[in-house]
Amino acid sequence: MSNQIFLTPGPSALYPTFEKHLRTALDAQIPSISHRGQKFQAIYRETFEALKELFELPDNYAVLFCSSANEIWERLLMNCVESHSFHLVNGAFSKKFYQFSQQLYLHSGHQTALFGEGFVLEDIQIPKGTELLALTHNETSSGVIMPEATIHQLATQNPDCLTAVDMVSSAPYPQLDFSKIDSAYFSVQKAFGMPAGLGVWLVNEACLAKAQKIEKEAKNRSTGTYHRLIDLWETFEKFETPETPNVLSIYLLGKIAQDMLQKGIKTLREETDLKAKMLYDFAEKTEGLEIFVQNPEYRSPTVIVINTATDSSEIIKKIATKGYVLGSGYKDYKNKQLRVANFPAISVEKMEDFIKVLDQSL
Amino acid sequence: MSNQIFLTPGPSALYPTFEKHLRTALDAQIPSISHRGQKFQAIYRETFEALKELFELPDNYAVLFCSSANEIWERLLMNCVESHSFHLVNGAFSKKFYQFSQQLYLHSGHQTALFGEGFVLEDIQIPKGTELLALTHNETSSGVIMPEATIHQLATQNPDCLTAVDMVSSAPYPQLDFSKIDSAYFSVQKAFGMPAGLGVWLVNEACLAKAQKIEKEAKNRSTGTYHRLIDLWETFEKFETPETPNVLSIYLLGKIAQDMLQKGIKTLREETDLKAKMLYDFAEKTEGLEIFVQNPEYRSPTVIVINTATDSSEIIKKIATKGYVLGSGYKDYKNKQLRVANFPAISVEKMEDFIKVLDQSL
């Protein structure tokens, strides 16, 4: 038994109730049930309803299951873009989404911010004819957020294009107004504290209509096969999936979403803010540490990136012997930064303890 | 605790050692480890090596992870077919694979056998110019197999096209000669006795070369994004994956494959044959039951389909009260057939007991 506390930006620490729900699922033989029966339909419905409440989804939204956020990027481009998507790129993951558009031979564009910087609303130039605007609430690689207000304004200012929001490593923290945007998505191995293997796609009827339009009008333009948005949506309407899905994870996600609802999303956000403040404050006042994201407005509450004066890999090694696993900086920043996930699985007390350990490890 | 025995053709009963390995994985915090670290690489390597031994894969094979067999169909068509695949269709799943080719606007063809019948080698006409030949070792919907010898002969007779074999609901039973074919695939929720959410793609360098050729020569023809075969293969070479994969399932699959190796694949096949014979013999001699697949040569050892004289749903309900969960007939045969999975998770003794229960339930 290793018993380390994972503060890695995904996969990360399991949600405290994860094992209890897993035990219940195994006792109820959830892994063996048919995905074409009423038991599975009830599970899908329950998970849908919990997520609908957690994210305050309007009635024109579906909750669809893919295998990863990578898959959702691909499906969004195949189903909601005939030719032009536009990507606000400020890190490795928003860049990868843009690159997917190139691999699909779309005529997409992007505007790029420096690594570690956010976008100023006034500087954003969205080309005419953009069909899908790809925004990132939380860039996992850089720890930069796009504030909800900016997301909402961009969506409102561009009513002719669909808006999709990456909240892979922040959901359910951001308070998105889903009546303003058209889609958002996340992976369960981040803030939901589950094993990887499920991507969750929140998507509205405008996206579905776009997929239908592409199929009707774009000659020889495929929207995919089993995970065409049209197929995903049709099966969703009876709480089924096109293929045999990750039934166990869909069940567990529903249970953890219910736990979050019971705790209260407001409390969850307040605790996240409190823990983030504790860690940012510590980094600010501590010699040898520096907050990477200069502008406080763009600092992520869920993925906190800290520059280290000395080789960060040595600090990470030292901290590991004291029971905490941290993320290193992304790619070029590997030995220069710590990336600390501040997900709901980590309590305020645990964050306090971690900060002490970090202090002793510098 | 429900404690029923699932004889459903997938999802199905969990492999007897599943929970033990899951416990070990949780104690070792496998769900939280990074997919970009040495621990994950060691897991991927171990699972690869176990599967390589189990299937006797030649050195030119990779083992790649997708989310389902449905996804593997799509990736095969996108990466290994520029224009023409050819599908031998004898049930719902081989038909769905063919339909995927149409959704991708390929110029594919098919030859169809009646539901419940197999293909006679001499009657198979593969068009010139076929790039990928899609064969099904075991049709989950009808319980019809294509014998290994037929698969090998078709592959040998058609050296200019790639051969891909669906063994979704039979692997690791079929004794495929992987030096003759180019790809095969399965899902873990069938004979490996795991929760759904992982599709396993065994694929050789000839398939990779085809994907490279398509990217080089076919103008504006996408092979996909994160799961382009080229990306999957490149990351496989360092035992990584393009995206965050289903780490936990990859670990568990390796452990169960090791258990199967320890038991011995020969023993596993002999037990499968023995249990299949017991059930087929019982169906043959029992009034009110009839083996669906007429020709013994085409009868699946792993998915046994039995016609019932009375409403099969009533029999299934009755048997459920005695602790066994059966599959119904596929679609039109829903109330006319029983589909019984004969996977390794079910012991000879359990199959004996089930046959007694079936006898009492007619």
Closest CA–CA distance from residue B167 to any residue of chain A (Å)? 16
B111-152 pLDDT, tens per residue?
999 999 999 999 999 999 999 999 999 999 999 999 999 999
Question: How many CB atoms are located within 10 Å of the residue A157 CB?
Answer: 11
**Strand B289-291 to strand B303-308: parallel, antiparallel, or no bridges (unpaired)?**
antiparallel
Q: SS3 of B43, please?
A: helix
In this complex, which of B30, B67, B220 lies closest to A105 when CB atoms are compared?
Answer: B220
Residues B322 and B359 sit within 8 Å (Cβ to Cβ): no
A12-44 residues labelled b (16+ CB within 10 A) or e (exposed) = bbbbebbeebbeebbebbbbbbbbeeeebeebb
Nearest CA in chain B to A104: B222
Residues B80 and B104 sit within 8 Å (Cβ to Cβ): no
Place B2 in a pLDDT band, splitting at 50, 70 and 90: low
Residues A350 and A5 sit within 8 Å (Cβ to Cβ): yes
Query: In sequence order, what DSSP letters do the residues of A304-332 get, joined into one string?
Result: EEEEESS-HHHHHHHHHTTTEEEEEPSGG
- Please report, for residues A82, A135, A138, A305, B6, the alpha-carbon distance to residue A110 in angstroms, rounded to integers and kept in the order given: 16, 11, 17, 24, 51
Residues B65 and B48 sit within 8 Å (Cβ to Cβ): no
Residues A331 and A92 sit within 8 Å (Cβ to Cβ): yes
What integer pLDDT is reported at residue A1 of this predicted model?
A: 45
Place B220 in a pLDDT band, splitting at 50, 70 and 90: confident
> Is the N-terminal amide bond of A159 cis, ω within 30° of 0?
no
Calculate ∠ Cα B142-B146-B147, nearest 5°: 135
ipTM attached to this prediction: 0.98
Q: How many Å apart are CA B287 and CA B14, to the nearest integer?
A: 32
Nearest CA in chain A to B219: A105
Query: B204: burial class by Cβ within 10 Å (0-12, 13-18, 19+)?
Result: buried
Closest CA–CA distance from residue A1 to any residue of chain B (Å)? 5
Q: SS3 of A313, please?
A: helix
pTM for this entry: 0.98
What integer pLDDT is reported at residue B1 of this predicted model?
A: 45
Q: What is the DSSP letter of A30?
A: G
Binary contact (B2, A27; C-beta < 8 A): yes
In this complex, which of A14, A32, A325 lies closest to B13 when CB atoms are compared?
Answer: A32
The secondary structure element, H or E, covering residue A7 is strand A5-7
Residues B124 and B151 sit within 8 Å (Cβ to Cβ): no
Binary contact (A70, B243; C-beta < 8 A): yes
Tokens of B114: 């009646």
Binary contact (A74, B222; C-beta < 8 A): no
Residues of chain B with Cβ-Cβ distance to A65 below 8 Å are none
In this complex, which of B32, B70, B223 lies closest to A226 when CB atoms are compared?
Answer: B70
> Is the N-terminal amide bond of B195 cis, ω within 30° of 0?
no
Binary contact (B222, A12; C-beta < 8 A): no
In this complex, which of A1, A11, A244 lies closest to B196 when CB atoms are compared?
Answer: A244
Question: How many CB atoms are located within 10 Å of the residue A218 CB?
Answer: 12
- Please report, for residues A79, B104, B106, B273, the alpha-carbon distance to residue A213 in angstroms, rounded to integers and kept in the order given: 9, 17, 21, 51
Nearest CA in chain A to B105: A220
Closest CA–CA distance from residue A190 to any residue of chain B (Å)? 10
Encode chain A (362 residues) as per-residue pLDDT tens digits.
Answer: 468 999 999 899 999 999 999 999 999 999 999 999 999 999 999 999 999 999 999 999 999 999 999 999 999 999 999 999 999 999 999 999 999 999 999 999 999 999 999 999 999 999 999 999 999 999 999 999 999 999 999 999 999 999 999 999 999 999 999 999 999 999 999 999 999 999 999 999 999 999 999 999 988 899 999 999 999 999 999 999 999 999 999 999 999 999 999 999 999 999 999 999 999 999 999 999 999 999 999 999 999 999 999 999 999 999 999 999 999 999 899 999 999 999 999 999 999 999 999 999 99
User: Measured between alpha carbons, how far apart are the two ends of chain A, in Å?
Assistant: 27
Nearest CA in chain B to A24: B1
Calculate ∠ Cα B339-B342-B345, nearest 5°: 130
Q: How many Å apart are CA B185 and CA B228, to the nearest integer?
A: 16
- Which of A193, A341, A343, A181 lies closest to A257 in space, CA to CA? A193
Binary contact (B222, A29; C-beta < 8 A): no
Strand partners, B94: none
- Give yes or no for residue B219 having a pLDDT over 90: no
The secondary structure element, H or E, covering residue A88 is strand A85-89
Nearest CA in chain A to B9: A34
Binary contact (A27, B242; C-beta < 8 A): no
Residues B282 and B355 sit within 8 Å (Cβ to Cβ): yes
In this complex, which of B29, B187, B194 lies closest to A2 when CB atoms are compared?
Answer: B29
Question: How many CB atoms are located within 10 Å of the residue B255 CB?
Answer: 22
Tokens of A83: 């030719």
Which one-letter amino acid corresponds to residue B80? C
Question: How many CB atoms are located within 10 Å of the residue A284 CB?
Answer: 12
Return all residues near B207 (Cβ < 8 A) that are at least 6 apart.
Answer: B76, B79, B80, B162, B182, B183, B229
Residues of chain B with Cβ-Cβ distance to A187 below 8 Å are 244
In this complex, which of A74, A228, A245 lies closest to B196 when CB atoms are compared?
Answer: A245
